[in-house]
Amino acid sequence: MTPHVSYEFKNAVIGIAGLGGLGSNVAVALTRMKAGKLILADFDLIEESNLNRQNYFADQIGQHKVDASLENLRRINPQANLEGHKVRLTPEKIPSVFREAHIIAECFDRADQKQMLVETVLSRMEHVIVVTATGLAGYGRSNEIVTRRLSKRLIVVGDGVSGTGPGIPLIAPRVGVAAYHQANAIAEVLFEELHTLVQRGNL
């Protein structure tokens, strides 16, 4: 890694919308990479049922996911540049919460929330790239989870079809595969498109 790329990479700002199975693991991967500043946003509390796929611990049940994520990520890297927002994201709040972000990871569970965030970013946050995920449920078939670049500002991870249902839960293996696809897509954008971000004044 050249000094220039290293400097720019460490000055990137990445938003993570939702800190469940996807977001809590995307945040871990990016923290281990020392990837710039992370802006974390979620309104929810940790429940016991979350522990089957989310990056939390039994003694954190009942805590806000934002607080627990900040604690866990700082154990990985005490110098990590982190910002947390305990907020329910809406079309009105997203541009404000993520106003510094160059790229946003969409990490919600519900399809309507996913659509809301993607549409908000693409329509109201000029130049910001969004990495979304769809089709993660069940087990096995890891190689069916893929990363697709649909446009300059939209990257989609998943198999596109596997939704939750009877006997088709969200569990750690496939959710984790998708989360690391998202983190890898973010790294790819930052390493390969830094010059474009610099030219636009976004870094």
Domains in the chain: ranges and CATH: 3-199 (3.40.50.720)
Ramachandran assignment for 40, one of left (phi > 0), alpha (psi -120 to 50 degrees), beta (any other): beta
Q: What is the pTM of this model?
A: 0.89
* pLDDT value for 166: 60
Q: Which of 133, 127, 134, 138 is nearest to 170 (CA)?
A: 138
* pLDDT value for 1: 38
Q: What single string gives the DSSP state of each residue in 128-171?
A: -EEEEE----SSS-GGG-EEEEEETTEEEEE-S----BTTB---
* pLDDT value for 45: 98
* pLDDT value for 2: 38
* pLDDT value for 10: 79
* pLDDT value for 143: 77
* pLDDT value for 174: 84
* pLDDT value for 161: 62
Query: How far is Cα of residue 73 from the mean position of the Cα atoms in its chain?
Result: 14
* pLDDT value for 115: 96
Q: What is the mean pLDDT of each run of 10 residues along the chain (203 residues)?
A: 52 95 97 94 97 96 98 97 98 97 94 96 96 76 86 90 60 86 94 64 56
Q: What contacts 97, CB < 8 A, 6 or more positions away?
A: 15, 39, 41, 85, 87, 89
User: CA–CA separation, 203 vs 198, rounded Å?
Assistant: 5
* pLDDT value for 3: 39
